[in-house]
A and B are shown apart, each in its own frame.
Chain A
């Protein structure tokens, strides 16, 4: 038996051509299942023809390998971005360490950097935008998935898709010329008058600032959050709805117990996905946030976000430390959005992957 092994290996290497077909069944068991089964008896003309012609084995392996490389390159890209960001931000990583994220100094002249104002600005605008967008998005999703007449559904879905496709810089342009004056002349004074006692709407109101940035962010993430939430709600089986309705529930009770409860994990995922989008949004925010590295309680005050400081200062960064600090901010943004997106995707998957909805 031992001497049979090399023979079978040889057979494996030459699936085509006129290598002699072996008949012993003992050898056949070493041949992989993918191999064409050896023919019994003398070779027919058809078999000869097929053997003479390429079986595609080599081409198959090459093509499969190429596809595999392309697929793995997606992995590669993520790891590659991570390493290159770490490499290029080594200087500031070594200089400031972890305190980079807890200090609020930002002084390019003396080379003293800390990212706290940007982190605060990013979190503040994103969370505020979520607070504005999520209730509205839920309403839209409920309307589209449960209440909407069949005829309206397609146009409204189309419209939301269209709005999700508008580039961020165009939203920014609109915000600069429409939202900022509106904020300065109407909305701002109104908020100061009615909610000024909270201390959130203090100080000079130039129209640009945290609140304006949050509003434009909310407008931008609305289509995304609502369309994902709608998809998740539609993934809840109809039988769930019918069961709840058959028990005599009203439509709202059906939505609450039959749909929202089953889809809640996915909805949380959609919201986190919106958060991820808001965290990384650059252009529109840069154009209206005022770009000033200060932490202020007032929502009228100009601020800065992680993404907008990179967009604004990267090309004019002089000196290696400055550049390295900016790249470290990019690294932080990268890691945070990866974590946020991974959580969100896992949650959305858990719901939409076709697992039967649980009743509880």
Chain B
């Protein structure tokens, strides 16, 4: 019993400062780990703080917009055209109609081309250099400033026709829609399982039929999501419309004439010196945001259900 190999330190050995070793940690390691944990808490705190710092003002912007917009929204806003300066009342009915016309034009040009290009990338050009470069170009095109699109449409159409037109605005927005739709269509088609395609081809269905009735059909919720996102994005664009659609104070139905658009009208009213026009700008913003948010939220709900049935 006296030959115990492990010397047990006793308080009498080296005074009270000697602590028993804890998990073989030295004093330096303890200090070090304290520092590490402190750093950990510090960074965690910073991350939470920055999230709060970002979320709170952004929500504040949103709430303020809704508050200002809702208090200036009335029935006349939806039914009347702008009143002359100095008169109260008036609305943005013609701008909403104009926005609708321009967006319809843009969608009817941009969506088919975008989807077709996406189908090419996913179904025909998989792994080819051409597809890779088209994909890359689409991504780059996505980041080109909208005002440059405006200049391009101006140089292409307005300079030829020598007058502003709804059509040129639609072209500018259509070009902006294409890359977004192409990329989402491609990504959605990539998620379609190969087995489904092979089943169709195995039944003797030609490839074009397979693509249209099987691949596109299966991926359609995702593709619709992409179209809605592109739509929401261009719905609020002002810069490309400044010198293509130009704006109009009156009703206009012709594609060949200047036409009013909601974002454009908001811009004009926001930088004007009249209180009445400011009120209309707030109301217009609320309507615009609601329009965009409804489509984004719809997309969100729709995409949430986007699970392929029978996919393995």
Contacts and interface: CB of A to CB of B under 8 A. Distances in A.
Interface of A: 50, 55-57, 59-60, 62-64, 66-68, 70-75, 77-78, 80-81, 84-85, 87-88, 135-140, 142-144, 146-147, 156, 158-159, 161-163, 165-174, 176-178, 219, 222-223, 226, 250-253, 255, 273, 276-277, 279-283, 287, 307, 310-311, 314-315, 327, 330, 333-334, 337-338, 340-342, 344-346
A113 to B, nearest CB: 16
A59 B206 contact: yes
Given A71-B131, A170-B266, A280-B146, A64 B208 contact: yes
Nearest to A64: B124
Nearest to B119: A67
B57 A170 contact: no
Interface in B139-186: 139-152, 154-156, 159, 175, 178-179, 182
B211 A63 contact: yes
B148 A176 contact: no
B308 interface: no
Contacts, number: 269
Nearest to A315: B243
Given A70-B117, A165-B296, A338 B239 contact: no
A327 B143 contact: no
B64 A250 contact: no
Given A159-B58, A222-B54, A170 B211 contact: no
A283 B237 CA distance: 9
Contact of A168 (B124, B182, B236): B236
B147 A85 contact: no
Nearest to B209: A56
B30 interface: no
A49 to B, nearest CB: 11
Given A77-B178, A219-B58, A63 B208 contact: yes
20 contacts: A50-B204, A63-B211, A71-B125, A74-B134, A74-B137, A78-B140, A84-B152, A139-B54, A147-B48, A167-B236, A169-B263, A170-B65, A170-B289, A250-B36, A273-B143, A287-B271, A310-B151, A333-B147, A334-B148, A341-B142
Nearest to B304: A154
A75 B133 contact: yes
Interface residues of B, number: 95
Contacts of A277: 143
Contacts of B68: 177
Given A341-B140, A342-B140, A167 B48 contact: no
A226 B239 contact: no
Interface string B92-124: 000000000000000000001110110111011
Shortest beta-carbon contacts, A-B, top 10:
A167-B236, A280-B145, A56-B206, A139-B50, A341-B143, A70-B116, A67-B120, A63-B208, A71-B120, A250-B40
Contacts of B48: 143, 147
Nearest to A326: B151
Determine which residue in A81, A327, A340 has the highest number of CB atoms from chain B within 10 A of its CB, and name it: A81
Contacts of A72: 130, 134
B267 interface: yes
B298 interface: no
Contacts of A282: 145-147, 238-239
Given A250-B39, A327-B155, A165 B50 contact: no
A78 B141 contact: yes
Nearest to A161: B296
A139 B209 contact: no
A319 B288 CA distance: 36
A281 B147 CA distance: 8
B116 A166 contact: no
Given A253-B40, A282-B147, A282-B239, A341 B64 contact: no
B275 to A, nearest CB: 11
B293 interface: yes
A198 to B, nearest CB: 23
Contacts of B282: 173
Given A56-B209, A59-B208, 11 more contacts: A73-B178, A74-B138, A143-B48, A170-B266, A177-B68, A251-B40, A252-B40, A252-B43, A281-B145, A314-B242, A341-B144
Contacts of A253: 36, 40
A310 B124 CA distance: 40
A59 B206 CA distance: 9
A233 B54 CA distance: 19
Nearest to A135: B50
Nearest to B125: A71
B124 A333 contact: no
B300 interface: yes
